[in-house]
Amino acid sequence: MRILLAILLLSAALRVVAAELPNNLQPVPEPPPPPPGMALDPALEPQVTIIQRGTDTVEEYRVAGKLYMLKVTPANGRSYYLIDEKGDGRMTRQDSLDSGIRPPMWVIHSF
């Protein structure tokens, strides 16, 4: 009885989701070019190389050819990061990119 009820609720939810999607979707337009004299330097764009090592996936992040971060995704388990924080080539492990710093925030005014 529970399985039948779950199937009925799921099918009703799928109908609602399908009914809300518009039929006339357009592709996202290209962003406008930067103003003259403000062109982006392609050498400063990060370059990502994805390498398969055994069952692990390693993403290498480089700027101007210098390796600054690795993201390791094991086949079983959570991803972790190896980050060169000082630029000396020594990597430190972080389990997430969250620094843990939480600045205090207060509501000044609300409407």
The pTM (predicted TM-score) of the whole model is 0.53
Does residue 17 carry a pLDDT above 60?
no
The whole-chain average pLDDT of the chain stands at 81
Domains of the chain with bracketed CATH = 44-94 (2.20.130.30)
Does residue 14 carry a pLDDT above 90?
no
Beta bridge partners of 59: 50, 71
What are the pLDDT digits (tens) for 47-100? 999 999 889 999 999 988 889 999 999 988 889 999 888 888 888 888 877 777
CB atoms within 10 A of CB 69: 19
Between 69 and 20, the higher pLDDT residue: 69
In 3-state terms, what secondary structure has residue 56?
strand
End-to-end alpha carbon distance in the chain: 48
pLDDT at residue 18 in the model = 56
